Every structure is written in structure tokens, then in C-alpha cells.
Amino acid sequence: MYDFTYAKPASLADAAKALGADAEAKALAGGMTFIPVLKQRLNKPSTVVDLSALGLNYIKLEGGKLMIGAMTPHGSVAASADVKKAIPALAELAGNIGDRQVRYRGTIGGSLANNDPSACYPSAVLALGATIKTNERSIATDDYFQGMFTTALNPGEIITEVQFPIPEKAAYAKFANPASRYAMVGVFVAKTAGGVRVAVTGAGQNGVFRHAAFEAALAKSFTPDALNGIATPVGDMNADIHGSAAYRAHLVGVMAKRAVAAAK
Amino acid sequence: MVVDGIGASVKRKEDLRFLSGRGNYVDDMNRPGQTFAHFLRSDVPHGKLNKVDISAALKMPGVVAIFTGDDFTGVGGIPCGWQIHSKDGTPMVEPRHPVLAAGKVRHVGDPIAMVVAETKQQAKDAAEAIILDIETLPAVAGLTAALAAGAPLVHDEAAGNICFDWHIGDKAAVEAGFAKAHKIVRLDLVNNRLVPNAMEPRAAIGDYDVSSGEYTLYTTSQNPHVIRLLMGAFVLSIPEHKLRVVAPDVGGGFGSKIFHYAEEAALTWAAGKVKRPIKWTADRTEAFITDAHGRDHISTAELALDAEGHFLALKVNTQANMGAYLSTFAPSVPTYLSATLLAGVYKTPAIYAEVKAVFTNTVPVDAYRGAGRPEATFLLERIVDVAAREMNMDRVEIRKKNFIPKEAFPYQTPIALQYDSGDYMATFDGCLKAADYAGFEARRKASAAKGKLRGIGISTYVEACGIAPSAVAGALGARAGLYEVANIRVHPTGSVTVFTGAHSHGQGHETTFAQLVSEQLGVAHDMIDIVHGDTGKVPFGMGTYGSRSLSVGGSAMVKAMDKIIDKGKKIAAHLMEADVHDIEFKDGKFSVVGTDKAKTFGEIALTAYVPHNYPIEELEPGLEETAFYDPKNFTYPGGCHIAEVEIDPDTGTVSMISFTAVDDIGRVINPMIVEGQVQGGIAQGIGQALLEHAIYDESGQLLSGSMMDYTMPRADDIPNISVGMEVTLCTHNPLGSKGVGEVGAIGSPPAVINAVVDALRDYGVRHVDMPATPAKIWALIDAYHPKMAAE
């Protein structure tokens, strides 16, 4: 990696200041993507602003909502009694991200800020209709994801918390990329007060997306069979050495059915 | 006294330091005044190197020196250790492999410049300041593209990109077999290209002692003496007495650390120029684009059968990817290490094979665990399964019908090799029983009830290893001898140091070899040390590959210990005033037969070094012996592997349900280590069959260039592996051992693919090339449905 200045601010205001003052400064959450990128010299930040001392590592279940601090690692979400009680599908998703080491360091806020098109969390956040709180504002999930590695965040804006409404039932089904074990296709289904929401990660050319056709079918009947015969447009899918667009489109249907069957 | 000899599952002595972080790997070593090297590498697959401008880079902080191809014009190229001749008698095309790229770059990863700096970061910073002018040239990555008419040439001197066009066997006999065939089965196969990915990446330190004029290379090698020979004699012209090569603890090799690599020569040579040690450690990305890859063959096989299913003749045509330059043993892999194994365990009377070796703009390809034998076994065991199906014969029956019977040993195959021993029916029947082959149909039905497709696959194999008789290897093109060396030093108080030319990089030699000593000399394990990996300590050696360390290196130890015992008997006879012929050595004691007179091994050792009462007129003091052991033949481990898989038709995912191996590796020294070796080999075989694939795009860029895209087997990809043994002894070495390092990787891939094809029996699938990825299997299943609807 290239040399950089390291800063570990103790307040959100200082962190925002450090990031805002310098266009070349970069925030460090869990670093599970960022540190490999630095090691490969693919990024040359002036200052790395470590967000780990901002008190953002917490999980709260209050007022019918689940609040997860942005710096909460996946392993904590997976192990949390509150998460398991309120949204077991979210605990299970978190428990299957990466490996034990990644789950110990990687954070929900880092994952959402990066918006890797193969990351698991974006599908849960989108399907559950969560709200992303930052140091500046609250962003509705439907406005947040804007294509792969692209979000509604302004430069220097820091995610502080993710607020999840509690669904009636939900589940996540992931078909892991054989090599990376990221989601090659991940489908999160949620039956919520506001209707059925289905979000797909890994498969789409533009990152995580809602599957309107599946949502409509499942709104009528929340059963796997309701998805029979509903195709996922192949043209919107990724294709690479691990699978064709047709294969991914097919897997979206398979994983959606499995998620519906498993939803609780 | 604890004496754990042959047959005991002694826990591995070396694991205490490996598992507690106290291993001493090259990257753990630091020399006084050390500098660091970074190699600037080509990111284009093929290009004309117009200019390498280092002027700005030289001014960067911490830079000690920068070297380019121009600096190495006065030294030799990286040599190839095996010469093959084409059908027409001409020697293979052997283009110069420069230490650093000269004139052209020929694959992504080809080193262009070496920056030496005070720190690794400074070396990297300076490398970024080097200005390259590379004119991109059209490239060829795949075999088909390289052999196409008018394809761009990797080397101007290799017309059609052909390195050699070789053949073996009796073509006329094969044609005669085909002429009288009841059926001819034809199969096209791809043996997928693999990246070795040893856990420890390659690393090296070049060092030069100004006062003595001696060079030392610390390197991650499986055979330090071979590196000393190749680099000293052929590249840098440093005589052996001024060049020491040290390969300390090495974290896995699988073949990829046999070879002499350009970085080793560059670091050693440059250390002499800058007169300071220079260290380099590859990162994983470098490993992907510089470690010699494995496999990458395309073959067409044709098997002629009579009406009863007897094999009459086998014809094979193979194209083998050599990559951009000839790696150390690359030419031997598709030829003498593969085509000669096409008889397998079968009495096929006529075999003919042709091999075209081809240059491409890819990383050089060379031996990888099994080296040629997995390719031969995959081809043979696949075509036998296809033949069984197309002859409407049972897979078990067709194999039994064609096995070489145990009474036929020694068995001369029609393609060069003579198998010394084996009992293929015993390993086969043992494996069928252990795998409950008979109960499979019930398991298939149970899977079907869950919506899963279950399949079972059988593979039988024989391999030639324990390489080699030097004379035979030399006649076949090896440019080195292939014996092994052991020096046994008995210390005055009876402890023993063994200096072996074999090299351990995970195999557990320090334990297995100590068991040999314990068995033969009756010395306790804590009194035995095994030393390897240092040309300054070990007299000579050819290293570890081809499952040779025990059968060749261990045999050298036995021979050296025989000499120790012979000398000990003479000393004992003198001390006990008996005739030497009346001295017996057993359980660590020299005794006079028929009396209670005895001297311990320790007493004799002390006498040898304190020769106060000693036959000094006829015997030198001291107790140290060396043996060079050159085997009389290859060894021929064989066996049977059975894989059981379950396929999820919705996703195409292949799950390994079980794996059963019954092998014949000759005498087993440490059953626990053997089981681990077999399991490790099978894990790699499952990796090749289901997961691993080095994929280049047409332009020559490696698409699977990191762990994000190259699927290494993980623990949860591997089922429980049942390992069994049916032993016949090797008849021509003193241990009767055959070798175990490669059997798992050789026998397992066809077992897995045969199981996958079996699982897909209702989907019209005749063959699946490796790796059987979910996407590939789903596409086969998906492609079948429309046909069914149409029927």
C-alpha cells in the first residue's frame, strides 16, 4: 500500500470534518474490501479515517424497530438475541457472510457504503425497507442503492445506523460464488406491513434490485409455487466465468422459491 | 527406549514447530544489510519491448539498483532439464528463456525489471516510476488458437508454435487392432489448467559474501541441489563450491517449487553486483502469474474393443500447452510421465500416442502433483466408462475383464514401462466393498425421492513414480541423474543425524525417515535428526517430486545404514574378540551369536570416535557413511477410487457425498502420514474435478487470477475420505515401498467425473469436462429438457 495518514476520531463531528476537509481522505469501517484494495495499491488515500471509535457498534430493539449501529460487525448481528428474535433471516444472512475472520471485522455500514453488487446486506436492507441514517439525514432504502458501488451518500457522509422495521416473515437464500463465496445470486424476501418485497443481489448488472414481478405474484400468494413460470429478464443479469446470464436468471427463481419456503 | 519403526503411526515431529508458528520459512529469514526486490512485470500477454526507461526510477528514495533484461545478456537463459525429440528426430525447439525479458514480453507476469531498494515499499514505488514502451502484439492463449493456421508466433523460431511433435508406441499394431475391432469408442477430453497455489508463496534471498566470494541462495525449493546445478552451471556460471542453495521450511510445493525460476537467478546474480543480500517474496497475485501452472491438455482418445469387451488397441492424440517458455521439466510431463501410463491397469496389447507440445502466451506449464499421470488416468478411466456404456456392459465387469492379472507381474506394457508388482483385482474388490457399491441403487433411489440425482464413479489407476533409474531417464531425455543420496552421521554418543537429498515441504519426512533409522539402527526418535534442504550440509541429492522421497531417498538411507552396521560389526568383533561373521546386529545391539556377549549401538559409536581399543590398522575411526541409490526401475503404485456424488438439478451443484480409496503403495512406514497424503491428494483431485480452473481469455489475460475467481477446495467441499490399503511390495528397492504423494491426485478426478456422468445418466450426458461447475452441470440439464418435450 501507499503511505497515508491515519486518523481515529473520537466523535462523529471530527470524523465528518476529517473526511470533509480532504477529498482524498477515505473512511475505514471494517476494511474487508478497503484494506485489500490498499494492499494492491488500487487506491491512494491521503488520510484513512477509522470510524471504530465513534460508538457505532450496537444493536437495539426498540419501538418495534431494530436499530443496528453502522460499525456493528456481521458476527455480532449473527449472534444477537435481539436480531434472532426480531428478524431471524437477518441474523442468518450475517452469519453466512465471508468467513469467521471477515464476520469479526466486517461491518454493516461498511458493506452498505461500499454497495458491492455481490454483497449480501444490500438485499436485506432493500427487501426489509430499512432506513439508512447518516450524520446528515435519513435515507429511505429505495432511494439509497444507485447501481453497483454507487449509493445516495454524499462525499464524506457517514452512515451511523440502519433501522429495520420488523417484517411478518422473511428469509434469505444465497447461491454462493464457488470461488469467492460472495452471493452469485442472493434473494431476500420479506412479507411486511407494506406488502411483499423481494430484493436480489449478486445477479444484476446494476447491483441489488427489487423484483417487481416476484413481488406481485407473492402478494397474491406467498408460496413458492406462486413464482412458477415467472421469468427474470436475462438481459439484466451479469455473466462471467462462473455463470451465464441465463443461469443467473434461473437461479434468481430457484433462490426466491427457497427463500419463500424458508421464510419465518 | 522408545523405538518406533516401520508401521507405527508416529505423530509428526515437525508439526510442533509448524503449528506453533516456529517454522523457519524463507520469508522469516533476514540477512544483515538486506535489501528488497520488486519485479516489474508485463501486464500485456505479448509485446515488443521498445524501451525500459529507468532514469526517473533510479532517483526514487531508497533505490539501490535497477536491473533490466539488458543486464543479463552475458548470462545463460533459464534452462530446461528435459529434452524431447520429435517424430522426425529433430530436437524440441528450445527458445532462450531470459532471466529478465529481452526484446519481447511473452506472458502476463513476464519480469521486465528488478528494482532493489532499502524497503519493499520503496522498491514498489520505484517500479511505478519505470516508463515502459511496449508495442502490443497479437497473442495466443489457448491450444486451438496457437495451432490455428497463421496464428501469431510466441517465438519466431517455433513455427506453428510447436515445441515438439512426439510419438510413442506401435502405430501399425494399433491400426491392426482397430481393423479387427467390434467397436471403436472415441472421446474428446480437456484436462483443465490448474494453478498450484501452495500455501506459502515463492520467496528467495540472494546473498554474496565478498570475503569468500561465495553466493548463497535461500529459496522455496523442493530440490536445492537441482537449483544449484541448473542455476550455477547453466545460468550464472558459478561453480558449485562457491554456490550454496538453502531451502529451509517450505510451505507446500505440489511440483511448483521443483523448477528453477528466473527470480532465483536474478536475485543471486544481483546480490553479487550490489554486494548486499536481496530478498523477494511473491504475493498471491504474483504466484498466480508466475508459478508454473499444471495440466492444460486437449486429447482425443480412441479405444478399440472386441465383441466381448476386451480392449484391443488404444490411440491417443494430445496437445499440451507449454506456456510461453519451457519450464524445467515441462517437456517430460505430457510425454514420458503421461503417454507411457496409457496402459493403466489394463492388458491393452497395442497403444500409440502422439503429443504436440505448444507454446502460448501464458505462464509456463510444468509438473503439478501427479504430473502427466492424472492426465493419462483421466483419459483412460473416462473412455473405459464410455466404452462400458456404449457396449452395454457393466462398468465393473469391463474393468475386471481387462485387468492385468496378478500372475502376470512383472508385466511389460506395450509402451516402455515394466510394472514390477500389483494386484489390481484386490484393490478393486476392496474398494467396491468399502464403498458399498452393491448397495448404491438403494441410495440412488433415496436421493431421487429428495429430488436429487445421485451418481457413483469408479476409477482405477497405476502410476510410475519413484523416479527414476538414471540411465532410463537419461535415455528418455532427462539432463540429470535421478538417484538419491543419504549421509548418516552417527555421533560419538550414538545419536544420529541423517542428511538427505530429499526435501520435505509438508510430507513429514522428519518423522518417516526417523522411523527408518529407528527401525534399522534401534535408535530412539529423540536421538535422530533429519537434515535436508541445504547444499552446504547435504552431500548431494535430486530432491522431492514424483513420490520418490521414500522409495529412492529412503532406500539410500537403508543402504547407508547397512554400511554403518557393517562397520559397527567390525568394531564389535574387535571389542568382543569374535569373528565378524559371528556378530549379529539386532534391536540396537551387536552381539556374538550363541553367547550373551553384546555391545550397544552407543558403545560401538563411542569406540569409533574414541579408538583406544580399535582395529586401527584395518578400519578408519568415525562412524559416518554415505550412499547414492539409483533405483532399478520406477515404482508402480496403483489402486481404485470410488466417488459418490449428489447433484441438485435446480442449481447444478455437485455435492461430494463420499469418497473411498483403496491403494497399493507398497510398504507403509507411517500409516497416519500415508492416510494424510492420500486424503490431501484426493482433496486436490476433487479440486480439479469440481472446482479449479485457470481461465485465460483469448487475449491472454488470466481471468481467474485471484482467490476471488479461482476456486480452491475448502474443507466443506471435501467429504469424509475412507482410505484403505491392499499392499504388494515393490520388488526392486530394499524397503518395498512404492510412493504415496501423488496417488490421491491421480486416481480421484476420473472417479468424481464418472460419478457426475452417472448421476446425469437420464439427461443424455456422455462426458463432462472438468471442472464440473454448477453452471456447467445446470446448462447440461437445462439443454436436455427441450429435447424431452419434443420426444
Instruction: Determine, for residues B651 and A254 on separate chains, whether the beta-carbon distance falls below 8 Å.
Output: yes
CA nearest neighbour of B622 among B527, B489, B487, B496: B489
Strand partners, A62: A65
Instruction: Determine, for residues A179 and B651 on separate chains, whether the beta-carbon distance falls below 8 Å.
Output: no
CATH architecture of A169-262: 2-Layer Sandwich (3.30)
Give the DSSP H/E element, type plus range, for residue B385. Answer: helix B373-390
Q: Kindly report the CATH number that applies to the domain delimited by B297-467+633-790.
A: 3.30.365.10
B401 or B787, which is more confident: B401
* Nearest chain B CA: its distance from A92 CA (Å): 18
CATH architecture of A5-50: 2-Layer Sandwich (3.30)
Per CB-CB distance under 8 Å, the chain A contacts of B119 are none
Query: Which segments in chain A show pLDDT lower than 70?
Result: none
What does the pLDDT average to over B259-285?
98
Strands B111-117 and B63-68: antiparallel
For residue B299, the one-letter residue type is S
For residue A255, the one-letter residue type is M
pLDDT tens readout for residues B477-535: 999 889 999 999 999 999 999 999 999 999 999 999 999 999 999 999 999 999 999 99
Chain B CA closest to residue A251: B651
* Nearest chain B CA: its distance from A151 CA (Å): 24
Chain B CA closest to residue A257: B650
Phi/psi at B194 (5° precision): -125, 150
Measure the CA–CA gap between A195 and B147, rounded to whole angstroms: 59
Per CB-CB distance under 8 Å, the chain A contacts of B709 are 179-180, 241-242
- Which pLDDT value is given to residue A144? 98
What does the pLDDT average to over B539-565?
96
Say whether residue B774 is in contact with chain A using an 8 A CB cutoff: yes
What does the pLDDT average to over B614-627?
97
Measure the CA–CA gap between B571 and B684, rounded to whole angstroms: 50
Say whether residue B691 is in contact with chain A using an 8 A CB cutoff: yes
- Which pLDDT value is given to residue B1? 47
Strands A65-69 and A159-165: antiparallel
pLDDT tens readout for residues B352-399: 999 999 999 999 999 999 999 999 999 999 999 999 999 999 999 999
Instruction: Determine, for residues B709 and A178 on separate chains, whether the beta-carbon distance falls below 8 Å.
Output: no
- Cβ distance B640 to B661 under 8 Å? yes
The residues of A whose Cβ lies within 8 A of any Cβ of B are 2-3, 40-41, 175, 178-180, 182, 241-244, 246-247, 250-251, 254
Instruction: Determine, for residues B707 and A180 on separate chains, whether the beta-carbon distance falls below 8 Å.
Output: yes
Say whether residue B712 is in contact with chain A using an 8 A CB cutoff: yes
Instruction: Determine, for residues A247 and B778 on separate chains, whether the beta-carbon distance falls below 8 Å.
Output: yes
Measure the CA–CA gap between B168 and B246, rounded to whole angstroms: 39
Measure the CA–CA gap between B691 and B684, rounded to whole angstroms: 10
Interface test with A, best of B122, B650, B692, B718 (most A CBs within 10 A): B650
pLDDT tens readout for residues B207-239: 999 999 999 999 999 999 999 999 999 999 999
Say whether residue B655 is in contact with chain A using an 8 A CB cutoff: no
Which of A179, A244, A254 faces B709 most closely, judged by CB atoms? A179
- Which pLDDT value is given to residue B3? 67
Give the DSSP H/E element, type plus range, for residue A232. Answer: none
CA nearest neighbour of B79 among B95, B92, B62: B95
CATH architecture of B32-137+199-252+257-290: Alpha-Beta Complex (3.90)
pLDDT tens readout for residues B303-335: 999 999 999 999 999 999 999 999 999 999 999
Is residue B789 very low, low, confident or very high in pLDDT (cuts 50, 70, 90)?
Answer: very low
- What's the mean per-residue pLDDT of chain B? 97
Q: Which residue has the cell 448397495?
A: B439
Which of B285, B651, B703 faces A241 most closely, judged by CB atoms? B703
Which of B124, B650, B711 faces A178 most closely, judged by CB atoms? B711
Instruction: Determine, for residues B707 and A179 on separate chains, whether the beta-carbon distance falls below 8 Å.
Output: yes
Per CB-CB distance under 8 Å, the chain B contacts of A180 are 707-709
Chain B CA closest to residue A174: B651
Per CB-CB distance under 8 Å, the chain A contacts of B708 are 179-180, 182
Instruction: Determine, for residues A247 and B779 on separate chains, whether the beta-carbon distance falls below 8 Å.
Output: yes
* Nearest chain A CA: its distance from B769 CA (Å): 15
Written as nine digits, the cell of B510 is 522428519
DSSP string, B479-500: SS---EEEEEEE-TTS-EEEEE
Instruction: Determine, for residues A178 and B691 on separate chains, whether the beta-carbon distance falls below 8 Å.
Output: yes
Task: List the B63-68 sheet strands across, edge first.
Answer: B63-68, B111-117, B35-41, B278-281, B203-209, B214-219, B243-246
The ranges of chain B annotated as CATH 3.90.1170.50 are 32-137+199-252+257-290
Per CB-CB distance under 8 Å, the chain B contacts of A246 are 782
- Cβ distance B141 to B696 under 8 Å? yes
What's the N-to-C CA distance of chain A in angstroms? 45
3-state SS of B619-685 is CCCCCEEEEEECCCCCECCEEEEEEEEEEECCCCEEEEEEEEEEEECECCCCHHHHHHHHHHHHHHH
Say whether residue B775 is in contact with chain A using an 8 A CB cutoff: yes
- Which pLDDT value is given to residue B786? 56
Say whether residue B448 is in contact with chain A using an 8 A CB cutoff: no
Q: Tell the burial category of B660 from Cβ atoms under 10 Å away from its Cβ (0-12, 13-18, 19+).
A: buried
CA nearest neighbour of B482 among B501, B469, B499: B469
- Which pLDDT value is given to residue B4? 87
Instruction: Determine, for residues B775 and A254 on separate chains, whether the beta-carbon distance falls below 8 Å.
Output: no
* Nearest chain B CA: its distance from A125 CA (Å): 24
pLDDT at B700 over 50: yes
Whether ipTM exceeds 0.90: yes
Which of A2, A178, A241 faces B774 most closely, judged by CB atoms? A178
Interface of B with A in 118-147 (CB under 8 A): 121, 124-125
Instruction: Determine, for residues A180 and B708 on separate chains, whether the beta-carbon distance falls below 8 Å.
Output: yes
Per CB-CB distance under 8 Å, the chain A contacts of B695 are 241
Strand partners, B206: B217, B278
Per CB-CB distance under 8 Å, the chain B contacts of A254 are 650-651
pLDDT at B55 over 50: yes
Say whether residue B442 is in contact with chain A using an 8 A CB cutoff: no
Q: Which residue has the cell 454448477?
A: B774
CA nearest neighbour of B52 among B119, B123, B112: B112
Which of B121, B712, B775 faces A243 most closely, judged by CB atoms? B775
CATH architecture of B483-629: 2-Layer Sandwich (3.30)
The ranges of chain B annotated as CATH 3.30.365.10 are 297-467+633-790, 483-629
Is residue B114 very low, low, confident or very high in pLDDT (cuts 50, 70, 90)?
Answer: very high
Interface test with B, best of A101, A234, A250 (most B CBs within 10 A): A250
Interface test with A, best of B653, B701, B770, B778 (most A CBs within 10 A): B778
Per CB-CB distance under 8 Å, the chain B contacts of A251 are 651
Give the DSSP H/E element, type plus range, for residue A239. Answer: none
Per CB-CB distance under 8 Å, the chain A contacts of B652 are 247
Asked if the peptide bond before residue B774 counts as cis, ω within 30 degrees of 0, the response is: no
Interface test with B, best of A180, A182, A228, A257 (most B CBs within 10 A): A180
Chain B CA closest to residue A182: B708
Per CB-CB distance under 8 Å, the chain A contacts of B775 are 242-244, 247
pLDDT at B90 over 70: yes
Instruction: Determine, for residues B775 and A179 on separate chains, whether the beta-carbon distance falls below 8 Å.
Output: no
Interface of B with A in 264-303 (CB under 8 A): 285
- Which pLDDT value is given to residue B468? 82
Say whether residue B651 is in contact with chain A using an 8 A CB cutoff: yes
CA nearest neighbour of B432 among B464, B467, B408, B397: B397
Phi/psi at B332 (5° precision): -75, -20
Interface test with B, best of A116, A118, A240, A251 (most B CBs within 10 A): A251
Which of B285, B650, B708 faces A179 most closely, judged by CB atoms? B708
Task: Count other Cβ atoms within 10 Å, centred on residue A82.
Answer: 16
- Which pLDDT value is given to residue B157? 98
pLDDT at B463 over 60: yes
Please say whether the structural domain A59-165 has been given the CATH code 3.30.465.10.
yes
